[in-house]
Amino acid sequence: MSSFRTLDELPAEQRVLVRLDLNSPVEDGVVQDNRRFSRHAETIAELAEAGHRVALMAHQGRPGRDTFVSLEQHADILAEHAGVDVDFVAGTFGDDAVAAVRDLDAGDVLLLENTRMTDDELPEKDPEEHAASDFVETLAPEFDAYVNDAYSAAHRKHASLVGFPLKLPSYAGRVMETEYEANTAIAEREFDGDVTMVVGGTKATDVIGVMEALDEKVDRFLLGGVAGELFLRAADYPVGEDVDTELFDEQWDANEETIRSVLEERSEQVALASDLAYEDADGERAEVAVDDVVEKTQSFLDIGSDTVADYEPIVRDSEAVFVKGALGVFEDERFSVGTVGVLEAIAETDCFSVVGGGDTSRAITMYGMDEDDFSHVSIAGGAYIRALTGEPLPAVELLIQSAETDA
Ligand code: 3PG
Ligand code: MG
């Protein structure tokens, strides 16, 4: 199998340009610390300790959104995790940025400003076109090597992700390496026993696409969240409709045909909830068997306890479990039973396990589970979905191509 080069192959004393994914939640202008910082910190510490001159690039938000902010705060958060100083320069490839890059000594780390503040970054373009942009043409000559650690942004064809590999010897950072291996496992690895996929969350359209693409690879799908209710709706239960939400009807229209065909052709592959949880008149968690739902009058916020009990043994008997999406609104402790129950069952077994999607993996920290009990907790969302279905990631392809061209 063709592959990319890793930091193990990076020559000594390089001037390295490193692409990270530090895209983070921002609340009232304050950047929220999250796994992306702690993960990338390891790559940075390794490069700094090895004595390379390190310039970092990353994006934050998109123009027009309130998450579109400077990376100044990111530098401090990153420094704290990495245990090395991270300087910040308020430019991406202007004169100040280039001067700061030229000023780097061995072991220094510098973070350049939000790549999406340049006009060259965002348009989805072919690598050749990006490689000819001012952004890439200006920065590339200042470096000996390019390291891409931004697996979670690798589905984007942006300048900082696909332009530089055409100009510089390119390497995968540690996060890129780990994420790539774990997230492609479902598409590339052969497992001896059953492969189970936990499918939930609110983006039903995404996960239903994954289910369709993975029918040969996955033995059992355990459903919850919005997709779970839509499947129940297809099985003629009066659930999966919008009462006080706007999550169901539109995604039903978009996926009805696929859902019906999955249920018709492979119903034994799909495990649906036998009970659901909702908030009763006293604000307490209450549960109802799906057979007893006569009419949908309130929102369901979690799978029920019987369903968790049905799902646990399936998890325990699996050789591999991949999680995409939460089974309920776990942020509210009353409705965390499904998500936490299934994650704990995964943690307790020694199956190969990957938990993907920024949101779901937050439940692990929130409810005091140990990340080490999972084979991999991914920091990727869109890239994780694409990896599961075996869709190539442009920025990863470029790393592989760079390794082949230089070989
Ligand atoms: C992410 O946060 O999922 C990646 O960084 C990609 O960001 P984008 O969806 O704004 O392109
Ligand atoms: Mg485990």
Question: Which residues does a 6 A CB cutoff place in the pocket of ligand 1?
Answer: 21, 23, 62, 152-153, 156, 381-382
Q: Please name which ligand lies nearest the alpha carbon of 316.
A: 2
pLDDT in tens, 292-348: 999 999 999 999 999 999 999 999 999 999 999 999 999 999 999 999 999 999 999
Amino acid at 260: R
Strands (E), 5-96: 15-19, 26-27, 30-31, 53-57, 87-88
Residue nearest to atom 7 of ligand 1 (CA): 153
Question: Could you tell me which of 7, 100, 12 has the C-alpha nearest to residue 57?
Answer: 100
User: Which atom of ligand 1 approaches the CA of 383 most closely?
Assistant: 3
For the entire predicted model, the pTM comes to 0.94
Per-residue pLDDT at 21: 98
List Cβ neighbours of 264 (8 Å cut-off, separation of 6 or more): none
Question: What is the 370 CA–ligand 2 centroid distance (Å)?
Answer: 10
For the segment 131-161, what is each residue's pLDDT rounded down to a tens digit?
999 999 999 999 999 999 999 999 999 999 9
CA atoms of 198 and 190, how far apart (whole Å): 19
Q: Rounded distance, CA 165 to CA 159, Å?
A: 10
Asked if 378 contacts 183 with a C-beta cutoff of 8 angstroms, the reply is: yes
Contacts of 50 (CB under 8 A, 6+ apart): 10, 12
The Cα angle at residue 16 between residues 146 and 39, in degrees rounded to 5: 80
**First CA to last CA across the chain, in angstroms?**
15
pLDDT at 110: 99
134-143, 220-229, 230-239, 387-396 — which is least confidently predicted? 387-396
- Protein residue with least CA distance to atom 4, ligand 1: 153
pLDDT of residue 208: 93
Q: How confident is the model at residue 398 (pLDDT cuts 50, 70, 90)?
A: very high
* pLDDT in the model for residue 319: 97
Q: Within 349-393, where are the H helices?
A: 358-366, 382-388
164: pLDDT strictly greater than 70? yes
Q: What is the pLDDT of residue 1?
A: 54
Q: Ligand 1, atom 3: nearest CA belongs to which residue?
A: 381
- 330 sits in which H/E element: none
Residues 71 and 86: their CA atoms lie apart, in Å, by 11
Q: Which residues are 53's β-sheet partners? A: 15
Evaluate whether 73 touches 30 at the Cβ level (below 8 Å): yes
| Residue owning the nearest CA to atom 6 of ligand 1 | 153
Q: What is the mean pLDDT of residues 80-102?
A: 98
The ligand that comes nearest to the alpha carbon of residue 369 is 2
Vertex 341, ends 300 and 244: CA angle to 5°?
15
Q: Which atom of ligand 1 is nearest to the CA of 158?
A: 11
Neighbours of 124 (CB within 10 A): 10
Residue 54 backbone phi and psi in degrees, to 5: -115, 120
Check residue 167 and report its DSSP letter.
T
pLDDT at 392: 93
What CA dihedral angle connects 97, 161, 375 and 363, to 10 degrees?
A: 70
- Helix and strand element counts for the chain (H, E): 15, 17
- Checking if the pLDDT of 390 tops 90, the result is no
Q: Closest ligand 1 atom, CA of 380? A: 3
State which ligand 1 atom lies nearest to the alpha carbon of 21: 5
How many angstroms does the Cα of residue 342 sit away from the middle of ligand 2?
Answer: 12
| Cβ atoms of residues 109 and 84 within 8 Å | yes
Dist. CA 401–CA 156, nearest whole Å? 17
pLDDT beyond 80 at 245 = yes
Confidence of residue 406 (pLDDT cuts 50, 70, 90): confident
Ligand 2 centroid to 82 CA: how many Å?
27
Collapsing DSSP to helix, strand or coil, 30 comes out as strand
Separation between Cα atoms, residue 362 and residue 336, nearest integer Å: 12
Ligand 2 centroid vs 361 CA: distance in angstroms? 14
Q: How far is the CA of 373 from the centre of ligand 2 (A)?
A: 4
The torsion angle over the Cα atoms of residues 243, 245, 248 and 253, rounded to 10 degrees, is: 90
